[in-house]
Amino acid sequence: MAGSFPRRALISVSDKTGLAELAKGLNELGFEIVSTGGTRAFLQQQGAKVIDIAEYTGFPEIMDGRVKTLHPKVHGAILGRPNVPHHAEAIAAHGIIPFELVVVNLYPFEATIAKPGCTTEDAIENIDIGGPSMVRSAAKNHEHVGIVTCPSQYERVLTELRTGKLSHALRCELAAAAFACTACYDRAIADYMAGMVGKLVAEEVPEGVTVDGAKFPRVLHLDFERRMPLRYGENPHQAAAFFVERNADATTLAAFEKLHGKELSYNNLLDLDSAMAIVREFDQPAAVVIKHNNPCGCAISDSLSSAFEKAYAGDPVSAFGGIFGLNRVVDLATAEQLCLPDRFVEAIIAPGFTDEAFQLLTTKPKWKNNVRLLRVPGWPSSTSAMTASMDYRRVTGGLLVQTRDDVADPESEWKVVTNRQPTDAELRDLRFAWRLCKHVKSNAIVFAKDGAITGTGAGQMSRLDSSEIAAKKSGDRCRGGVVASDAFFPFRDGIDQAAKAGILAAIQPGGSRNDPEVIAAANEHGMTMIFTGRRHFKH
């Protein structure tokens, strides 16, 4: 910056985090601070020396603050290049004092639209105009101007300014971050407006007609921030990282806190997400053991330690080296179960850990230094919806998008299709098995009894194969229990297999052309069967 000008910084922010310290540091370095409205008032309250932007431009803020920085003396001070002769002439002719630093963060548009009851008027008024204009101008002219868009940048900026001026490398880095900031901001606004258009179009279309674009935008923009690198991908030769949604809800995996243990891998996070999704299905204390993204054990009970003990007993061999999910704060009794000899735990995710449980898990077992203990502070309940409403899956050259399979299955739509009605105990187990079944890879078969898995068959090409695996895993433990199937039984052989294992009740979607044959088989075996009318494939 040419030496003939005073050092000036323009500050206009919504987020005041760290702002007092930044302004104090700039004043100490001899900067004059020019500011607007609420930012100016805040800085003056903090004792900073501030020049009102209206004093600089000679033009007042008008139209409820909609017009305050959209002025040639502001943008000339940001975009001007004093080392270019005709720029220098214009700067002198119009009394422009160039800004060395521009500090701007934008109106909280995304936070506003996320609030319950947000109106269209509220959303529109939180679309920042002057802010993005200043950010883009400063980023374009980063050769002469430092653009600061996030409080996390303040300390580094002050450190460099104390040594003289901002380095070219930092100015380039700040400019890149600034353009990324405005791109994300504009994308959020564009998506919101597209949603408004979709609603308007849907309102004009007769009921029952599907409108292209009413549910899914014509162009899909995804906005994720890298949270951390991972140890590796699905295999050690694959690199991986974890990206999270901006403003992700505290009830999602994005909000986890790792309290202990070694680095996480790609597979760890997949399994931890599945574990959390399963135990959140239940209001009672629940525990699940995940292996290769399938539950090999799961149970509900009156206490967390009892639920864990029953879940582990579902398949102790497969549980070795598993991922464990619990829907209550882990207490000492549960930790003692986890630490029994010959048990090996990779990771545990829960709402929290008592001090005694944490101490035991991190000092007693052989795996004490490696086990990953994760806490999700806003742990979801069975009645709270996870915030991610869409599922995404990459395919070669494209992306598959669908709504999440997290809609409750109303029991009012269930139908008992056999001669025998389920007993109360059977109905409780059918509910348990049905909730669990949708989290098992297709073809999915779940055998359960007394609120616990006795055996699962997952990911087989034949439903009969899955039934045979579930029966083998269960042994005699499933006698008097129930079976859940994620899709209809295409033939009676699956029911015959379940009856042979001692199963007395079944739950499935129904809908096969062979339903009469399957129902007849259930009646022959004295089984009761419920049709839910809804399939739960998971590929």
CATH number reported for the structural domain that contains residue 29 in this entry? 3.40.50.1380
**CA–CA separation, 146 and 16 (whole Å):** 19
Q: Are residues 514 and 450 part of one domain?
A: yes
Instruction: State the catalytic residues.
Output: 140, 292
Q: Are residues 170 and 43 part of one domain?
A: yes
Q: Are residues 279 and 181 part of one domain?
A: no
Q: Are residues 472 and 355 part of one domain?
A: no
Q: What is the CA radius of gyration of the chain?
A: 30
Residue 44 lies in a domain: yes
Residue 259 lies in a domain: yes
Q: Which two tokens stand for residue 535?
A: 């399939």
Q: Is residue 443 reached through a cis peptide bond, with omega within 30 degrees of 0 on the bond before it?
A: yes
264 contacts: CB under 8 Å, gap ≥ 6: 228, 230, 231, 242, 258, 347, 372
Q: Encode the chain (539 residues) as per-residue pLDDT tens digits.
A: 444 778 888 998 888 889 889 988 898 888 888 888 788 888 888 888 888 877 777 677 767 666 666 777 787 788 877 777 888 777 777 778 888 899 998 888 888 888 888 888 888 888 888 888 889 999 998 988 899 999 999 999 999 999 888 999 999 999 999 998 888 888 888 888 877 765 655 555 444 444 444 467 677 778 788 899 999 999 999 999 999 987 788 889 999 999 999 999 999 999 999 999 999 999 999 999 999 999 999 999 999 999 999 999 999 999 999 999 999 999 999 999 999 998 999 999 999 999 999 999 999 999 999 999 999 988 876 545 444 478 889 999 999 988 888 877 899 999 999 999 999 999 999 999 999 999 999 999 999 999 999 999 999 999 999 999 999 999 999 999 999 999 999 999 999 999 999 999 999 999 999 999 999 999 999 999 999 999 999 98
Q: Are residues 183 and 64 part of one domain?
A: yes
Kindly give the pairing relationship between strand 372-375 and strand 345-350: parallel
Helix residue ranges per DSSP H, 350-447: 355-361, 424-437
20: helix, strand or coil: helix
**CA–CA separation, 97 and 9 (whole Å):** 10
Looking at this protein, which amino acid is placed at residue 527?
M
Residue 231 lies in a domain: no
Kindly report the length of the chain: 539
Q: How many domains does the chain have?
A: 3
Sign of CA dihedral 311, 315, 320, 322: negative
Q: Are residues 179 and 107 part of one domain?
A: yes
Q: Which helix (H) or strand (E) holds 349?
A: strand 345-350
Q: Specify whether the CB–CB gap between 257 and 374 falls below 8 A.
A: yes
Residue 210 lies in a domain: no
Final residue belonging to a domain, choices 352, 375, 398: 375
DSSP string, 304-322: HHHHHHHHHHT-HHHHTTE
Final residue belonging to a domain, choices 190, 212, 247: 190
Q: Are residues 183 and 250 part of one domain?
A: no
Q: Quick one: 348 exposed, middle or buried, by C-beta within 10 A (0-12, 13-18, 19+)? A: buried
Residue 242's CATH number: 3.40.140.20
Looking at this protein, which amino acid is placed at residue 501?
A
- pLDDT of 35 reads 85
**CA–CA separation, 317 and 297 (whole Å):** 11
Q: Are residues 153 and 41 part of one domain?
A: yes
Q: Specify whether the CB–CB gap between 277 and 385 falls below 8 A.
A: no
Q: Are residues 156 and 18 part of one domain?
A: yes
- pLDDT of 209 reads 40
**CA–CA separation, 267 and 95 (whole Å):** 61
Q: DSSP letter for 253, please.
A: G
**CA–CA separation, 481 and 484 (whole Å):** 10
Q: Specify whether the CB–CB gap between 311 and 339 falls below 8 A.
A: no
Sheet holding 32-35, edge to edge: 50-52, 32-35, 8-12, 101-104, 146-148
Residue 538 lies in a domain: no
Final residue belonging to a domain, choices 156, 190, 224: 190
Q: Are residues 371 and 415 part of one domain?
A: no
Residue 205 lies in a domain: no
Residue 32 lies in a domain: yes
What is the phi/psi pair of residue 400, to 5°? -95, 135
- pLDDT of 121 reads 86
Residue 209 lies in a domain: no
How far, rounded to the nearest angstrom, does the alpha carbon of residue 295 sit from its chain's CA centroid?
21
Q: Are residues 464 and 321 part of one domain?
A: no
pTM over 0.85? The answer is no
Q: Are residues 420 and 504 part of one domain?
A: yes
In angstroms, the Cα distances linking 181 to 132, 186, 247 are: 9, 9, 14
Residues spanned by the domain of 85? 8-190
